[in-house]
Amino acid sequence: MATIVVNYFSVDPTSGQLTDFACSGGDCSTDCVPDAVTVTISNYQFSHFMSYMKLPPVQLPDFEHR
CB neighbours (10 Å) of residue 35? Answer: 13
**In the chain, how many domains are there?**
1
The pLDDT of residue 17? 92
The pLDDT of residue 66? 63
Give the range of the structural domain holding residue 24, as residue numbers without chain letter.
3-65
The per-residue pLDDT string of the chain (66 residues; one tens digit each, 9 = 90 and over) reads 788 999 999 888 899 999 998 887 666 677 788 888 989 888 887 776 666 777 777 777 777 766
For residue 58, what are the contacts with CB-CB under 8 A and spacing of at least 6? 45, 46, 47, 50
Cα 18 from Cα 7, distance rounded (Å): 11
The pLDDT of residue 49? 67
The pLDDT of residue 6? 92
Reported pTM:
0.64
